[in-house]
């Protein structure tokens, strides 16, 4: 099964579309804390990460979400 992390997720429109398409979205990342409530209401169980993406190393995602380098079933979405 494909898994995804949605960068610059905002309120989660892209995340919601991915979920409806059968993709397991494990997290959305956005700098705006005001997007959290909307994202979580509409996209459970995906986790909202309120951080600056430029300051999150790949190791963060490896540890928090069991994301592995070169995982051909993992997609990263940014819009």
- pLDDT tens, 52-73? 999 999 899 999 998 887 888 8
pLDDT at 78: 87
Report yes or no: 44 and 24 within 8 Å, Cβ to Cβ: no
Strand ordering across the sheet containing 3-7: 47-50, 24-30, 3-7, 74-78
pTM of the entire predicted model: 0.89
pLDDT at 36: 98
Give me the mean pLDDT over the 20-47 stretch: 97
What architecture does CATH give domain 3-78?
3-Layer(aba) Sandwich (3.40)
Neighbouring-strand partners of residue 24:
3
Domain boundaries, the chain: 3-78
């Amino acid at each position: 099964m494909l898994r995804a992390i949605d960068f610059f997720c905002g309120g989660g429109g892209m995340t919601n579309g991915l979920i409806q398409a059968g993709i397991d979205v494990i997290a959305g990342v956005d700098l705006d804390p005001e997007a959290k409530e909307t994202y979580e209401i509409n996209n459970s169980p995906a986790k909202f990460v309120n951080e600056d993406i430029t300051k999150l190393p790949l190791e963060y995602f490896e540890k928090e979400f069991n994301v592995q380098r070169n995982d051909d079933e993992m997609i990263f979405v940014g819009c």
